[in-house]
Structure 1
């Protein structure tokens, strides 16, 4: 799927999350990782601006575990006022096909907290973004494992969802179980009475593709608000990854995250892979 991943790190990720991500990276085909830290001049962040050597030593220690696991790893330290923009530029320079960033849980009540860098990155990135979950202190961490085995795929059958569907099918080759969900908005039947039946057929086709790839699949058609229903299903299934499409790929829409995807990243409390659709031709 994604041979090269750019992994954005800051000092909140200083201890321990990278081994937790290793299984996910391997399952997604990652063979090369670029560990990147962007320093903002004048911004207080511990060993920051003017301490590049200390930063390089820190990132090198972070790289050791990934190298021991067989990944090719490089380290990149940058100075920029626009952290998200420079991460996107770094990904392009290194030929990355995936950007990985952590988001830290603040409490059980507040759920997943997206900092300004994560939000901006999700808006700006033309690449898939894997938003990994950093457990709050004392709540434990995910094991390295063999990658995601309980996946929830959210789809609205749009062009923008096709790349997300393809990602789920590719991950199914590891034998993963994929819950394919289309949430019917409350007034959907009023717009088109036959939509539930049509959606059921479309879900069945996606499930067939997942099974053909070697995975297991089940389909779901709850009514409600899409982000909330997808998050609820993921919690009920104890899913270790949610996959959704990122809507908006033209110039006007490029600064917009689909409302479902954005809200889902806030409330999911588990890793989310947001996959943009390819640019339409013409």
Structure 2
């Protein structure tokens, strides 16, 4: 299999989603992809153990994509070798009444990773510049000063939100949280096939929601807002990676490999060393325990 280079997926200049392929054709079998993923899974798990001992960094993995793009299955497969206490997954739904009593970033602050751990946001704070742009009436639920109707939501409102999100992520990065953001770039045709599968195969019926079809009607609008959000918020503090998502197995491997390669840049993540005094007393400690 061709080597995966994170830079091939990283957004460093302005992009147009319509010009980016939703499938990475490199001629590898599903077995080959799974084998490669298995190896990276184990390396990431071992890395998290070292991170826990090092206790200076947390890692925030942000996953965004249209319905059926494969976020749930990717979480299951990429992080399955982790110590269960080393990774926490948060799936953000429509804000509840308590969350709406705070600003839109509040619930995301509460879910940030502890030092030494990974947190995965399945849908993220970016819903606040994606879903709410397609459905601006949702903003009214936030009960914001000066926003009494959709007509009060001016372009400056979204400008401020992008600035707030960039500041939020910069703050995280400067305080020891490594932020990596992945957009699952799936074609509309592939989504159609996956939705049909949910309707046709009994074991997948539970996954189907009529709401998915309603949101599908806004596909072009979502693409426009995804494109703008990615272009406005991809930077060195919190880069975006556009992952071809029509092939789920390949998407999983790409994400895992990018996480691994990006984590290798943090060369200071090493197991802490015991002080010389403690090492010098090892034999004394062993004898003490043997005599018990």
Normalised by the length of structure 2, the TM-score is 0.29
Q: Which protein is richer in helix relative to its size? A: 2
More strand by share: 1
In terms of Rg, which structure is larger? 2
Query: Normalising to structure 1: TM-score of the pair?
Result: 0.30
